Structure 1
Amino acid sequence: MLDIKKVHHIAIIASDYARSKAFYCDILGFTLQQEVYREARDSWKGDLALNGEYLIELFSFPTPPARISHPEACGLRHLAFAVNDIDRACELLTEKGVACEPVRIDPLTGKRFTFFSDPDNLPLELYQA
């Protein structure tokens, strides 16, 4: 069996790198640890951290193909973030112009959760810790 310790990072390709960087940093609260332009690929790569922990590689590529990204589509279903107060988190997102679905209750855990989307319609979840 592999000795996997944790998820190291999540890679996201943005259609508009600057817009997605602003969304993840200014709205969700990630910090940009490092950013590099890769001339051979005409691509930006930003390393984003949450609470000091490297978590997301944000990329740009010229004309990336669209991907189906609804939570029930085959492939990566969504990326979930734990929050202490889901109602307050939804209020803050709404104030920034980000729409959240109505809060639901997970029938298995009894925990509250909701979905919203990043600028490229990648489904993101808030899950009350």
Structure 2
Amino acid sequence: MLKDELLDVHHTAVCVTDFERARDFYVDFLGFELEGEADNRSESALGDVVGLKGATIRWAMLRRGSHCVELFKYYQPEGNRTPREQCDLGYTHMAMRVRDVDAVFEQAVAAGYEPVSTPRVLRGGKTKVFYLREPEGAITEFIQFNELG
């Protein structure tokens, strides 16, 4: 069974148009470390793996703890540039567990990032969360888990 082969979750991939701005968001604001970066990657196996023959990309792997974010900027082919809504089919956001969601919210606003709302208490007080629009419209959730006695 697959569950016997699955070790852990390695990375989440994010496709962007402004590579430097996206990389800076993850590295400078979220504290990810740059593990590797390459420009104009176009090996034929890449196109085979992603199902896009002739794909040419700029790429980076960023790590924070045990999780990585893989950044892609496609030079070829050009994709849909409309950010997804949370109700759209497929993956919609990445969540970061934080100690103090209000402090993160204040830092995000001070840094010029666009929150979807202020932090809100959910799940009967078990969590406090807010969503933040990344520089190109993708969503990152910041979630604080509250200890309830």
Q: TM-score range by the shorter chain?
A: 0.7 to 0.9
- Mark the CA change 1:97 to 1:109 in structure 2 (over 3 Å): closer, same or farther: same
Tell me if 1:59 matches 2:72. Answer: yes
How many correspondences in the alignment?
128
Instruction: Report runs of 4+ in structure 1 exceeding 6 Å deviation.
Output: none
Question: 2:51 aligns to what?
Answer: none
Deviation at 1:103, TM superposition (A): 1.2
Question: 2:110 aligns to what?
Answer: 95
The secondary structure found in structure 1 opposite 2:106 is helix
What is the identity percentage for the equivalent residue pairs of Structure 1 and Structure 2?
A: 25
In 1, Cα distance between the equivalents of 2:83 and 2:60? 23
Structure 2 stretches of 5 or more lacking a match? 43-54
Q: State TM-score, norm by structure 1.
A: 0.88
Equivalent of 2:20 in 18, 21, 34: 18
- Mapping 1:1-129, distance limit 5 Å: 1-3=1-3, 4-40=6-42, 41-51=55-65, 53-62=66-75, 63-100=78-115, 101-107=117-123, 110-129=126-145
- CA radius of gyration, larger in: 2
Matched-pair contact (CA < 8 Å) for 1:47–1:54: no
- Mark the CA change 1:91 to 1:31 in structure 2 (over 3 Å): closer, same or farther: same
The CA RMSD measured in Å over matched residues stands at: 1.8
Matched-pair contact (CA < 8 Å) for 2:83–2:136: no
User: What one-letter code is carried by the residue in structure 1 that aligns with 2:2?
Assistant: L
Matched-pair contact (CA < 8 Å) for 1:15–1:64: no
The secondary structure found in structure 1 opposite 2:114 is coil
Matched-pair contact (CA < 8 Å) for 1:82–1:128: yes
In 1, Cα distance between the equivalents of 2:9 and 2:82? 23
Matched-pair contact (CA < 8 Å) for 1:13–1:60: yes
Deviation at 1:20, TM superposition (A): 0.6
Question: 2:47 aligns to what?
Answer: none
Matched-pair contact (CA < 8 Å) for 1:9–1:56: yes
Q: State TM-score, norm by structure 2.
A: 0.77
Structure 1 stretches of 5 or more lacking a match? none
Structure showing the higher helix proportion among its residues: 2
